[in-house]
Each structure stands twice: as structure tokens, then as C-alpha cells.
Amino acid sequence: MEHAEPDPLGPRRRRLLVTGAGGQLGTALRRAFADEDVVALTHADWDVALPPPAGLAPVDLVLHAAGWTNVDAAEDDPQGAAAVNVGGTQHAAELGAPLVHFSTDYVFDGSKRTPYVESDGPNPLSAYGRTKLASEAAAGDDAWIVRTSWLFGETGTNFVRTILRLAQERDELAVVDDQRGCPTYVGHLAAAVRELVELPRGVWHLAADGDCTWAELAETIVAEVGLRCRIRRIASAELARPAPRPAYSVLRSERPGAPRLPHWREGLRACLERLL
């Protein structure tokens, strides 16, 4: 019986490419996969609306975290959003390596009142949601397509950081109370992605456990930090934002062995610990 000789250099580290590496999820992915050989490409390194620069291959895994994420701005410039979200995903797939692509709860219309699972039919309400649904097709059948929701982390622009700043400046904040979802900490999502790449490909829902409205999340942030700011609960219509959002977009997985993420309150605490 023959035995393979152990490689004196140890097992080869995978070469991973992270797009959108300067974004909040890209930053968390770089951290979660820090023991691998990570090629981190920011927007300045590769505008994904353009074909990939020469010399990136060979790559063992592509974590495609780049995207047009300004939901309201996509209403005014749907083609610009599509160039990044659809064209960019196609370009990432063209690298020919196994691909993890990130999509959104905004592919759903929010008419359900029980959690959305992978087999539920999408019906996006916004231009952003339509580009993200089309991006899933661009990623192809052979990719891991991660639908996630309401991301926050220590970096970038997100709800948690915005509320922290505003709650220190004001006595009262008006926050919408008629959208319900799963606020997901990017550190927890990135850890779940490590598990996911050992599982079969296809669409997976990966979002924090539990659910809440934006107003409930804001109240929890203020309470955790011990600020005095009052949260006034309002309806989305009062904000009159350009893009409609689903009223209910709680995500759960129906797939066997799906990675489970901690509760959003745990994610919030983990994020605040790093922030404060």
C-alpha cells in the first residue's frame, strides 16, 4: 500500500480573491479568511463593471463582495446599478474559479408574514432589488449565492454607526417601524461563509437569528450604549424615500446543514465592543 509523502511545506493555502475589499463585508471577509492567501481588491484596484485586470488567475475561490449598495440612488440610475451588480458579477464569474456571490432580502416583495426560504419566489420592489436578482443569474448555477440582509459592521456606512452618531447629537430620532428584517453582523456572516464553502452550491439564506424593525434596532443600540436619545416610531411613508422596501424580509434557510448565525443582539454587541 502506498502512502503519499507529507508535503514538507504543509497543506497549500488557498488563493482567495475578495472583491469590494474596502466595503464592510469585504473587510470582514478579509479578517475571517486571514489564514488563507487573500488577494484583496478594492474599488480602486478593480472596477468590477469592467473586465478583470490581467494576472489575477489562478484563484481557488472568489468572494465577490463588491456591489452598488445605494438602494435609493439605484432608482435614478438603474443602468449604473446594473453595470456594477449584474455586469460586475458576470465579470467575477468569468474568472472561472468557484464563486461566492452576495445577494439580498430585497429580492422579495415582503408580502409574506413568515420567514422567506430559498424556494420562495422573488419579486423585487426596487431597481436595486431587480439588479440583485439579475446578479444571481449572472453568478450562475455553479456559485454559492448568499442572500443576506441589513448588514452592519465596524466600518463603512451602516445603520448602527449612523444611529450611534445621531443619538449623541440629538434628543430624538424618528425611525421606521413598519419594516421587519434580520440585522446581520458582517463578522458573523463572514464566519458562516467559511462553513458555507464546504457545502453544496446554489442559493442559501444566511442572516442573523431573530428579527426586528429598524426602530427596535435603534432602541436597542441606544439602550446598549446608555444614551438618552428617544426613538420615535414612524411609518416608512413619512420618510418618502425614492426606493420602496419590503415590509417583511426575514430570511431563514430550509436547506439541510445550513450555517446558523447568532442572534442579531449578539451581533450588535460584538460590533459595539469593537466600535467603542
- Residues in the site for ligand NAP, rule: CB under 6 A? 20, 22-26, 43, 46-49, 65-69, 84, 88, 102, 104, 132, 148-151, 156
**Residue with smaller CB distance to ligand NAP, 9 or 242:** 242
Q: Which of 116, 128, 185, 248 is catalytic?
A: 128
Q: Which is nearer to ligand NAP, 4 or 272 (CB)?
A: 272
Q: Which residue's CB is nearer to ligand NAP, number 150 or number 222?
A: 150
Distance CA 189, CA 118 (A): 17
Minimum distance from CB of 232 to ligand NAP (Å)? 23
Q: Cell 459592521 identifies what position?
A: 153
Lookup: cell for 82:
446594473
The grid coordinates listed for 92 are 467575477
Instruction: Please report, as a single letter, which amino acid is at residue 129.
Output: G
Burial label for 140, CB within 10 Å (0-12, 13-18, 19+), is middle
Closest distance of CB 151 from ligand NAP, Å: 4
CA-closest candidate to residue 126, choices 247, 253, 24, 234:
247
For ligand NAP, give the closer residue by CB, 102 or 248: 102
Query: 128 catalytic, yes or no?
Result: yes
Rounded Cα–Cα distance for residues 104 and 205 (Å): 9
C-alpha cell at 30: 478579509
CB of 92 to ligand NAP, least distance (A): 10
Q: CB nearest ligand NAP: which residue?
A: 23
Q: Where are the alpha helices (DSSP H) in 97-174?
A: 127-139, 159-169
Q: Output the smallest distance, CB 150 to ligand NAP, in A.
A: 5
> How far is residue 135 from each of residues 75, 84, 93, 103, 251, measured CA to CA in Å?
17, 9, 11, 8, 19
Name residue 253's beta-bridge partners. Answer: none
CB 143 within 8 A of CB 200: no
User: Integer distance in angstroms from the first to the last C-alpha of the chain?
Assistant: 58
Residue number, 189 or 222, with CB nearest to ligand NAP: 189
- Nearer to ligand NAP (CB atom), residue 132 or residue 222: 132
Q: Which residues are catalytic?
A: 128
